[in-house]
Structure 1
Amino acid sequence: MKTRLLGGIVALVLAIVGTLLLVSFVQGSEARAQKDLQPVDVLVVQTQIPSGATLDTIRSSVKLTSLPTASVPNGALKSLDGVQGKVAATDLMPGEPLLGARLVDPNSLAAPGSVPVPAGMQEISVQLEAQRVVGGRIAAGDTVGIVVLFGAGSGGDAASGATSQEVFHKVLVTSVQRSQSKATNSTSNSQEQANTELPTGQLLVTFARSDVDSAKLAFAAEFGKLWLTKEPASAAESAPVVIKKTELYR
């Protein structure tokens, strides 16, 4: 009798303890679930953002949105503070949180051997012989002066004489493409050859210019000739002068 009573008491105690443990576990699970569901405000892409988009474009294409904590990836941005000057590293699609890792320095997006195009400008290329490109010693990132020469009667104007003028100053070179050079034994030898050996073939030089200047360059390259000067930011600029044969001998 006593044994049965004792067994019943033990069973009751175990049942109570089990119930309490189960209730505690359920309550803990609910608490964890509630924590994961707690909303957090992050920037979410609303319209597609192309690779290379500036911060102004990104700002107009994202919206601060509340999402469950569990669905927010690490590195999601809550604001655009501290990312001035950065651009989109890749295409960003609507619905995805904006990650800090997706915003990079513009220089990191430039193709090898080139520099980024300043905002508001476009690129235009011309093909020139080495002697017209400072012996081929022009590289991406340099700034150059562009001298335009027209022969007598060029452009269909039979009455016009030969003229020359440095039309543009401190033009940014975004890339220079040249003929494949022979392999060298070392980097130092390659650099030495680039500065002392006669370049072969023509060079394709690309500039960053406005739309109007691009049209002027295209016209000059089509109907005249171009020569480049290596013109750093410290180079002096004289007043524009149209050079004719009479001015040359003065």
Structure 2
Amino acid sequence: MPAFTNLLYDLDAASGILTLTINRPTKLNALSHDTIRELREALQLALDDAQVRGIILTGSGEKAFVAGADIAELTALDEIAGRRAAEFGQEAFCLFEESSKPVIAAVNGFALGGGCELAMACHLRIASENARFGQPEVNLGLVPGYGGTQRLPQLIGKGKALELLLTADIIKADEALRLGLVNHVVPLPELLEFSRQLLGRILSKAPLAVGLVIDCVNAAYDKERHGYQAEANAFSRCFESEDFREGTSAFLEKRPAAFTGK
């Protein structure tokens, strides 16, 4: 397994599920520059590894997924360095959003600021009952810098997103579920197992089709792409895949499909 300073990289070869754990418990898993760099490196390793089929992202301990950015680092930035930091974080989080392998955020506690932004960059979010979400940057004289002003309105709508962004309110897991910010809320002891089971259901489907669905949905929010055209292109591409032939044969023969991702 690769070694990181701020992350735990744990691949279950039998299921193909990689669990990435942000491991800075004394800092409530705050996102330092090095942590974001390691997240980027770990995801690239996962995308290049055929054994990895899906990813669960979580935080160490029971208090925080990611409590925010590393404020001590932010205080040392000037205008130019601040832009670079935002662009660095945005690029890293976009890699999660654009991953062809499904990524589930298992949110165990506080997901504030950069933590909420990181969770929103994942494809699905499962929250423990003690999870808390918010974008409190205006309390510090800042705005979200890692995509929060863009993804939060996509997930919960412009009006409510503006309210949370402007008031810096922190919401509980049940409110996040009601708003559509998270997909499920479960007791903390069940969080990882629930996430594994959900990811396992996804991984039982055709890998190529799963990746193309992710791409098509992302295309709907990309001003440089045409979502319907992306869908038509993906649909046509599936007809050349072995998975399509296997899936349709299995359906007609009333047996489970054995997909290969080809």
TM class by shorter chain equals under 0.3
Structure with the larger strand share? 1
Higher relative contact order (CA 8 A, sep 6+): 1
- Using structure 2 for the length normalisation, give the TM-score: 0.20
TM normalised by structure 1 equals 0.20
More helix by share: 2
